[in-house]
Amino acid sequence: MALAEFLAELERFQAAAAEAFGAAADALALEAARIEFLGAKSGRLRAVQKQLGSVPGSDKPAAGKRFNDAKTVVESAFAAAGQRVAAGAAQGALATTFDPTLPGVRPRLGHLHPLTQTIEELKDIMGRLGFTVAAGPEIEDERHNFEALNIPPSHPARDPLENFYLAAAGVAAGAPLLLRSQTSTVQIRVMEKTPPPVRIISLGRVYRPDTADATHYPMFHQIEGLLVDRHVTMADLKSVLRLFASSFLGSDVHIRFRPSFFPFTEPSVEVDMSWHDTKQSGTTRWIEMGGAGMVDPRVLEAVGYDPEEVTGFAFGLGVERVCARRHGVTDIREFYRNDVRFLHQF
Least spacing, CB of residue 142 vs ligand FA5, in Å? 15
SS3 198: strand
Which burial class, exposed, middle or buried, applies to 263 when counting CB atoms under 10 A from its CB (0-12, 13-18, 19+)? middle
Type of residue found at 170: G
Please state, in angstroms and rounded to a whole number, the distance separating the CA atoms of residues 37 and 44: 5
Q: Residue 178, Cα to own-chain centre: how many angstroms?
A: 31
3-state secondary structure 275-303: EEECCCCCEEEEEEEEEEEEECHHHHHHC
CB under 8 Å, gap of 24 or more: what pairs does 170-173 form? none
Choose the stretch contacting ligand FA5; rule: CB under 6 A; options: 72-80, 278-286, 302-310, 315-323.
315-323
Least spacing, CB of residue 144 vs ligand FA5, in Å? 12
**Residue 21 contacts ligand FA5 per CB under 6 A:** no
Least spacing, CB of residue 177 vs ligand FA5, in Å? 19
Nearest to 8 by CA among 37, 42, 41, 51: 51
Least spacing, CB of residue 96 vs ligand FA5, in Å? 54
Angle between helix 3-23 and helix 60-97 axes, rounded to 10 deg: 0
Residue pair 301/295 in contact by the 8 Å Cβ criterion: no
**Residue 184 contacts ligand FA5 per CB under 6 A:** yes
Indicate the residue among 39 and 307 with the shorter CB distance to ligand FA5: 307
Indicate the residue among 81 and 324 with the shorter CB distance to ligand FA5: 324
**Residue 290 contacts ligand FA5 per CB under 6 A:** yes
**Residue 288 contacts ligand FA5 per CB under 6 A:** yes
**Residue 298 contacts ligand FA5 per CB under 6 A:** no
CA-CA distances (angstroms) from residue 66 to 14, 47, 63, 211, 294? 11, 15, 5, 92, 112
**Residue 333 contacts ligand FA5 per CB under 6 A:** no
Which of 253, 314, 323, 324 contacts ligand FA5 by CB under 6 A? Answer: 314
What residues between 211 and 240 interact with ligand FA5 by CB under 6 A?
216-217, 220, 222, 224
**Residue 36 contacts ligand FA5 per CB under 6 A:** no
Residue pair 244/125 in contact by the 8 Å Cβ criterion: yes
Indicate the residue among 48 and 289 with the shorter CB distance to ligand FA5: 289
Residue pair 263/280 in contact by the 8 Å Cβ criterion: no
DSSP 9-40: HHHHHHHHHHHHHHH--SHHHHHHHHHHHH-T
Least spacing, CB of residue 127 vs ligand FA5, in Å? 19
Which of 141, 210, 229, 236 contacts ligand FA5 by CB under 6 A? Answer: 210
- Residues in binding contact with ligand FA5, number by CB under 6 A: 25
**Residue 321 contacts ligand FA5 per CB under 6 A:** yes
Least spacing, CB of residue 112 vs ligand FA5, in Å? 20
Indicate the residue among 30 and 188 with the shorter CB distance to ligand FA5: 188
Q: DSSP 3-state helix, strand, coil percentages of the chain (rounded to 5)?
A: 50, 20, 30
Which of 84, 113, 208, 238 contacts ligand FA5 by CB under 6 A? Answer: 208
Least spacing, CB of residue 281 vs ligand FA5, in Å? 26
**Residue 315 contacts ligand FA5 per CB under 6 A:** yes
- DSSP class of residue 257? E
Q: Which residues bind ligand FA5 (CB under 6 A)?
A: 182, 184, 208, 210, 216-217, 220, 222, 224, 262, 265, 268, 288-293, 314-318, 320-321
